[in-house]
Amino acid sequence: MGFSVEEETLQEKCVNLDTLQNLDGDGFYQDGDVIIGALINVHNLAATPDLSFTREAELPPCLEFQEHSVHWVQAIVFAVEEINRSPSLLPGVQLGYHIMDSCSRYPHSLTAAMSMISGGNKTCGTTRPAKVIIGDSSSTQSILLSRTLSPLQIAMISYLASCPCLSDRQKYPNFFRTIPSDAYQARTMAQIAKRFGWTWVGAVVADNDYGRGAVQVFEEEIKGMGICLAFFHTLYREQLAKDAARAAATVQASSARVILVFSWYVDVEVFLLELIRRNVTDRLFLASEVWSTSAYLLANPQLYTIAKGTLGVALRSVPIPGFDAHLRQLHPARYPDDEFLRTLWENTFDCSLTKSTTKAFQNALPPCSGRESLEGVQSPFTDTSHLTVAYNIYLAVYAVAHALHSLLACTPQNNSDPKIKLKCSSPDNITAAQLLKHIGQVHFTTQSGEEFYFLDGSIPPVYDLVNWQRAPDGSLRYVSIGRVDGNQLIINESAISWPGDSGKCKCFSDLS
C-alpha cells in the first residue's frame, strides 16, 4: 500500500502551506495520545475572494462570529473529556483534539485540514497530527476535503453534510457522517406533499451540491405521484441579492403555494425578506434541516408573518446528560487556549480578556473581572433544549472512540476476572488508515440506547418534523408535530398551525 510511508514523511517534514494569516490563529488544541481533528464553521462568511488573479492569493478574513458554533466546539470538548474519564471505553488512552475554524469556505477548510493532519503550526513547531477529521459542515466542502484526504486514507466524519452524492463509496471511501443523507429528507418532503395533496410545488435551493442534490431526489420521488415541480431557482452566496430577487419574483408570479427551500439559513432570510418586500406573505415553506429550527430566523420579528406555518424536516434532537452543566461551568481561565470561547466571552459580557487580539480588545472594552459566569445566561450558546448538530458531533467523537477501542484491541487484562481493568495496546504507532478501516466497521449502542453503525457511510434516516407557530406573545417558535423513522412518516395533523389565518391546509392544494 505504501501509505504509511507517505504519512510518516508528511509528519516528519515541516511544510509551511502558506502564511495562514487568516486561519484564526491555530484553532484550539488539546494534546493527547490520539488527536481528533475537527472543522467547525465558527465564522460564517469570509469576505468575497479576490478573483482578479493579479497577485498572490491569500485567505480572506472570516467574519460573522456565530455563538452556536462555539456550542458545537464544546460538544467535542465535552465528549472527549467524558471518554477520557470512562473506565470502559479506551481506558489508559487519552484522546486529544485540534479544532479549527472552517469559516464556511473551502480555502479555509482545506488549509485547516492540511494543517491539522500535518501537525505543523506557524512556527513549524509540532502539534501532534490528527488521525481523523470530524467535519466538514457543508457538503461542498466535504466533497473537496474527501477528495483531498482519501489518497492519504484519512477518515472524515461530517456532522452536517447531507448531500446524497456523498453516499458514493467509490468516490468518497473515507467519508462518513452522523446525519442522514438528504435523499431521505427530500423523500420525506415528497411524502408530505403527497399526504396533503399538494400537486404544484416550487423549489428555491442553494446553488451547490446540497441544494441541487435535494431537488434531484425530490424530482425522482414525485414521479408517478401526480406532483409537479412548478419552478426551480438557485441562491448563490456570491450574488445573493440578485438571486433572491429573481427567486422571489418567480414565487410571486407562480400559482404554486408550496415552496421547497433547501438553503443556508442566512440566505433563506434574504430570500424571505425579499418576498416581504413584494408583499408575498401567504406561501407555505417546506424547510430543510439547516433552517427549520434556526433560532436566528425565529428571532427576527420581520419574519413572524411570512414564516408562520412553515413545515420542516429537522435533525432529531437528543439530550446529552451533563452537557448543560459543562457549558455553564466554562471559563476562559480553565481553557486559556480556546480562542473561540474567548471571543464568546467577550461578546457575552462586553469585556476584554488580556491576551486578546479580537475586536473587543481593539474597541477598548473594559477588562473582564474574572467573576463573569455563564450560570444565569440565556443565549443560543447555553440553550441545550434541542441538541441536534451538537448531538451529531458528540456521536462522531464516540464513533471515533469506539473504532479506536476496537483498533487497540482493548480487552480485559485477566479473562478469568472481568472486573479487572481493560487494557489497550499502545496508541503510539497506529495509522490513520487503520483507524479508517475500523470506523467503517464500528457498531455500538449509544447512551440513549440506539444502535449505531454506518450504512454506506451514513446513519439511517431519523428526523423530527416541525411546524412554525405563533406563541401567545406573538413571537415565532417551532413545535414538533411528528417524526420520520426509517420509512415511516408519523404526523399529528391536529397539532399543525397553517400559514395565514385559515387554519386549514386545503388552501394549499392546487386546483390543477
Ligand X SMILES: *[C@@H]1O[C@H](CO)[C@@H](O)[C@H](O)[C@H]1NC(C)=O
Residues lying near ligand X in the complex (CB under 6 A) are found at 26, 121-123, 125-126, 279, 414, 416-417, 426, 428-429, 492, 494-495
Residue nearest to ligand X (CB): 125
Q: Measured between alpha carbons, how far is 155 from 146 in angstroms, rounded to an integer?
A: 8
The least distance separating ligand X from the CB of residue 31, rounded to whole angstroms, comes to 9
Neighbours of 490 (CB within 10 A): 10
Q: Which is nearer to ligand X, 252 or 329 (CB)?
A: 252
Q: Which is nearer to ligand X, 350 or 493 (CB)?
A: 493
Q: Which is nearer to ligand X, 126 or 363 (CB)?
A: 126
Q: Is the bond preceding 33 in cis, omega lying within 30 degrees of 0?
A: no
Contacts of 502 (CB under 8 A, 6+ apart): none
Q: Which is nearer to ligand X, 19 or 447 (CB)?
A: 19
The least distance separating ligand X from the CB of residue 252, rounded to whole angstroms, comes to 11
Reading the block at residue 233, the C-alpha cell is 431557482
Total length of the chain: 512
Reading the block at residue 337, the C-alpha cell is 487556549
- Smallest CA-to-CA distance from 344 within 384, 377, 314 is with 377
The least distance separating ligand X from the CB of residue 141, rounded to whole angstroms, comes to 24
The least distance separating ligand X from the CB of residue 469, rounded to whole angstroms, comes to 10
Contacts of 470 (CB under 8 A, 6+ apart): 304, 308, 476, 497
Q: Which is nearer to ligand X, 9 or 494 (CB)?
A: 494
Go through 200-226 and write b for each residue having 16 or more CB atoms within 10 A of its CB, e for each that does not: bbbbbbbbbbbbbbbbebbbebbeeee
Contacts of 430 (CB under 8 A, 6+ apart): 34, 131, 404, 407, 408
The least distance separating ligand X from the CB of residue 54, rounded to whole angstroms, comes to 30
The least distance separating ligand X from the CB of residue 427, rounded to whole angstroms, comes to 9
Q: Are 499 and 483 in contact (CB under 8 A)?
A: no
Q: Are 213 and 163 in contact (CB under 8 A)?
A: yes
Q: Which is nearer to ligand X, 386 or 483 (CB)?
A: 483
The least distance separating ligand X from the CB of residue 113, rounded to whole angstroms, comes to 17
Q: Which is nearer to ligand X, 448 or 492 (CB)?
A: 492
Q: Which is nearer to ligand X, 447 or 492 (CB)?
A: 492
Reading the block at residue 175, the C-alpha cell is 467519508
Query: Which residue type sits at 196?
Result: F
The least distance separating ligand X from the CB of residue 275, rounded to whole angstroms, comes to 12
Q: Measured between alpha carbons, how far is 500 from 495 in angstroms, rounded to an integer?
A: 16
